[in-house]
């Protein structure tokens, strides 16, 4: 009978069947979702790998890189780099201020001088230097074992009018050092000291200071084949006295390593030495060198 009521056992059996079907349906759905998710994840990974191989950048990543914040940061860094570059360029190009002097002022010398003279440079060429040095040397009656210091000056225009300034080391070599390495000249400081030492003969000397020992040392070695020729106008030497086939040799004088150049008659024509890492002495005679080195080790004195 259709309206016949079911027994408790039949009801329980029906409920168990329903639950089993429900669990089976839930399991089927879960499995399907898992498979679908795995399939979707696999597709995403595969697409990403394809884009990486082809070099395609995802739009979302591009948007993250070129954000306003990142653009401003990049511009800021660029401006800082440009500012540093411009500052360095201006610093390298900046010239040292002219050293204005007055006849009434004392002149500092690295060595004690018995006498001091000034030569004014107007035409800025080697013939002018040779002529004026030669006249001064001829007119000066130097006592034995004395040193005469010579300062080269120039006239400059200032807001106060014409004034006298020291000739810089670079200006000196622009007139004399036609073969002097440019990198060597850049290592020289201002001022320099030129002069004569009187002993058996009157010998010229030049005292230079440098700011970079390694560069100056290498530059002096490179300058050796042309040193006598470049210095000949100021040292009053003849260029014919020297052949470029003659080489400097190493000697030791008063515990100083010296590079010396001799002619074919074994006569000293030129010598130089780094008496310390920042001081170079160039002269034409060992007696003059010894006296200059001795005075360099004594306290400086002021000249009037």
Per-residue tens of pLDDT for the chain, all 304 residues: 444 455 555 555 555 554 455 455 455 545 554 555 555 455 546 556 666 666 555 544 444 555 666 666 777 776 666 556 545 544 444 444 555 555 444 567 999 999 999 999 998 899 999 999 999 999 999 999 999 999 999 999 888 888 999 999 999 999 997 899 999 999 999 999 999 999 989 999 999 999 999 999 999 999 999 999 999 999 999 866 566 678 999 999 999 999 999 988 899 999 999 999 999 999 999 999 999 999 998 866 544 4
Sign of the CA dihedral 175, 275, 220, 90? negative
pTM of the model: 0.66
Give the rounded distance of the alpha carbon of 136 from its chain centre. 39
pLDDT at 10 (0 to 100): 54
Domain assignments of the chain as residue spans, ordered by start: 26-93, 105-303
pLDDT at 218 (0 to 100): 97
| Spatial separation of the C-alpha atoms in residues 224 and 246, rounded to whole Å | 10
DSSP 212: -
């Amino acid at each position: 009978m259709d309206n016949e009521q079911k027994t408790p056992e039949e009801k329980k059996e029906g409920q168990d069947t329903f639950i089993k079907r429900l669990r089976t349906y839930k399991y089927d759905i879960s499995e399907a979702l898992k498979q679908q998710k795995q399939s979707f994840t696999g597709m995403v990974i595969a697409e990403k790998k394809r884009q990486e191989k082809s070099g395609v950048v995802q739009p979302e990543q591009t948007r993250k890189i070129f954000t306003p914040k990142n653009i401003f940061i990049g511009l800021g860094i660029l401006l800082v780099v440009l500012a540093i570059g411009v500052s360095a360029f201006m610093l390298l190009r900046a010239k040292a201020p002219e050293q204005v002097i007055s006849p009434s002022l004392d002149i500092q010398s690295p060595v004690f001088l018995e006498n001091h003279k000034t030569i004014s440079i107007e035409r800025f060429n080697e013939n002018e230097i040779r002529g004026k040095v030669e006249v001064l040397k001829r007119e000066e009656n130097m006592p034995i074992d004395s040193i005469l210091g010579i300062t080269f000056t120039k006239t400059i225009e200032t807001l106060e009018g014409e004034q006298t300034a020291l000739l810089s080391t670079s200006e000196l070599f622009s007139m004399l050092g036609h073969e002097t390495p440019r990198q060597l000249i850049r290592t020289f400081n201002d001022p320099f000291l030129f002069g004569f030492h009187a002993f058996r003969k009157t010998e010229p000397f030049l005292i230079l200071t440098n700011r970079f020992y390694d560069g100056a040392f290498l530059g002096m070695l490179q300058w050796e084949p042309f040193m006598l020729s470049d210095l000949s106008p100021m040292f009053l030497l003849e260029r014919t006295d020297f052949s470029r086939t003659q080489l400097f040799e190493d000697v030791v004088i008063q515990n100083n390593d010296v590079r010396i150049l001799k002619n074919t008659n074994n006569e000293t024509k030129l010598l130089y030495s780094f008496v310390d890492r920042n001081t170079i002495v160039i002269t034409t005679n060992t007696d003059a060198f010894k006296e200059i080195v001795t005075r360099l080790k004594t306290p400086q004195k002021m000249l009037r």
